[in-house]
Amino acid sequence: MLEALNPQPQDKILQLIAMFREDARTDKIDLGVGVYKDATGLTPVMRAIKAAEKKLWETETTKTYTGLAGEPAYNAAMVQLILGAGFADRAASIATPGGTGAIRQALELIRMANPAAKVWLSAPTWPNHPSIVKFLGMPMAEYRYFDVASSGIDFAGLMADLAGVAAGDAVLLHGCCHNPTGANLTPAQWDEVIALLQAKKAVPFVDLAYQGFGDGLDADAEATRKVAAAFPEVLIAASCSKNFGIYRERTGVLIALTSPERKAVVQGNLNFLNRQNYSFPPDHGARLVTMILEDAALTADWKAELEETRLNMLTLRQQLADELRKATNSDRFDFVAHHRGMFSRLGLTEAQVVRLREEAGIYMVGDSRINIAGLNAQTVPVLARAIAAVL
């Protein structure tokens, strides 16, 4: 049987990681890996996580199974963090193995509920989105999002493409810090997207992986909350990997908003999907998040450190924009300061990206997406000079 299997294509980002590790240069710079790093290049364990882990070690009395949906306290805390007050009676939810697990379960739920539903993805989006949709054999379409020339939103293209959405289709939207590009919709643009999808009777599917990394916890949730209030049915896949710094704990949540009358049925179907895929979701990271969000002192410390993280990335963005303006004698890269989150797409050609890697030991994804958090005050001018040299 197994001899019938064909080789699968290698993940380009994982290939880049391997190339970076094998590079013997001591001044090399890794801007490809999508994890937060501090000024020393470390992805730190947050103070509140450390405190919660210590408390859990001292007080935990069992490692028995959780419920199929995970611990109710975790789900309730995440609904509150993401949506605020007023949605508990509409929110069915399950804990998942990370944000990708939530994406997978959401797509499974869509397929169960409406096999004919088309899933609309932004161009670009993360590779796991189309990969999972294709693997599940679901109909798929793209809508324009990023304008390469301006390094901003192609809003006219976006609206023109979404005009083709049919009733019951699912439209995947990035809640904030649009992952591969760093370019976000404005509040006014969100209002137009919401009005269009309402008219089309579409189902919004929000991917929220970077809450707190853009303009602040509540500000970053504002668009998702607008969507939640505007539609009878909404799916929200969220991750704690970034804002709690617990990447390896695989801590995510899927929220399905419906009517109070349908909530129990939807919850039962979510539980069923967890049972089919992995039975009980991971608990360690979810329990730490719950402990933090239920303790005022831990919450305050977590928010303070998250704000430090956010402001550090904004500082690096402004410094990089300034250094690039100086190195290139142009405003071509000023957009870097206006983007939000960990990522920006610089608008370099693949050949220029290769030159940066070969000549300067600077590693980024082939489409010139960089992880801003991979920089520090010393490496920003190095990157700027290297970019100027390959233009």
Predicted local distance difference test score (pLDDT) of residue 209: 96
In a domain, 72, yes or no: yes
Q: Give the whole-angstrom CA distance, residue 71 versus residue 63.
A: 13
179 pLDDT above the threshold of 80: no
pLDDT category at 3 given cuts 50, 70, 90 is very high
- 204 is a domain residue: yes
What's the CATH code of the domain at 216? Answer: 3.40.640.10
Tell me which residue has tokens 């300067």. Answer: 360
Q: How far apart are CA 145 and CA 183, in angstroms?
A: 9
Q: Are residues 32 and 142 in the same domain?
A: no
Q: Are residues 213 and 329 in the same domain?
A: no
Residue 24 maps to a domain: yes
**Are 74 and 141 contained in the same domain?**
yes
Q: Tell whether 368 and 305 lie within a shared domain.
A: yes
What pLDDT is stored for residue 33 in this prediction? 83
Choosing from 266, 294, 322, the residue where a domain stops is 294
Query: pLDDT at residue 284 above 80?
Result: yes
257-289 per-residue burial string, b: 16 or more CB within 10 A, e: under 16 = bbeeeebeebbebbbebbeeeeeebbbbbbbbb
* 5 belongs to a structural domain: no
| Beta bridge mates, 140 | 119
Question: Residue 155: inside a domain, yes or no?
Answer: yes
Q: For residues 375 and 8, what is the distance between their CA atoms, to the nearest angstrom?
A: 32
- CATH code of residue 328: 3.90.1150.10
Q: Are residues 250 and 158 in the same domain?
A: yes
Are 228 and 310 in a shared domain? no
39 pLDDT more than 90? no
How high is the pLDDT of residue 178?
83
Mean residue pLDDT of the chain comes to 96
What letters, b where the CB count within 10 A reaches 16 and e where it falls short, cover 61-77? eeeeebebbbbeebbbb
Amino acid at position 140, single letter = M
72: pLDDT strictly greater than 80: yes
Same-domain status, 131 and 254: yes
What are the pLDDT digits (tens) for 341-357? 999 999 999 999 999 99
Distance CA 336, CA 343 (A): 9
Q: Which of 262, 294, 326 is the last residue of a domain?
A: 294
Under the banding of pLDDT at 50, 70 and 90, the label for residue 9 is confident
Domain assignment present for 368: yes
Alpha-carbon distance 344 to 182, whole Å? 5
Number of domains in the chain: 2
pLDDT at residue 40 in the model: 87
**Domain end (from 294, 322, 343):** 294
The pLDDT of residue 41 is: 86
Per-residue model confidence as pLDDT tens digits over 114-159 = 999 999 999 999 999 999 999 999 999 999 999 999 999 999 999 9
Question: Are residues 88 and 75 part of one domain?
Answer: yes
- Whether residue 136 lies inside any domain: the answer is yes
| Domain extent for 378 | 11-46+299-390
Domain shared by 354 and 383, yes or no: yes
Same structural domain for residues 91 and 19? no
Contacts of 376 (CB under 8 A, 6+ apart): 39, 40, 41, 316
Catalytic residues: 126, 207, 209, 242
pLDDT in tens, 207-255: 999 999 999 999 999 999 999 999 999 999 999 999 999 999 999 999 9
Question: 229 and 173 share a domain?
Answer: yes
| 74 and 96 assigned to the same domain | yes
Residue with tokens 């590693």: 363
Given pLDDT bands bounded at 50, 70 and 90, which one contains residue 10? confident
pLDDT given for residue 223 in this prediction: 98
Q: Quick check: is 56 in a domain?
A: no
Global confidence as pTM: 0.96
Contacts by 80-83 with C-beta closer than 8 Å and gap 24+? Answer: 80/293, 81/211, 81/217, 81/221, 81/293, 82/208, 82/211, 82/221, 82/224, 82/225, 82/236, 82/238, 82/255, 83/221, 83/224, 83/225, 83/228, 83/236, 83/255
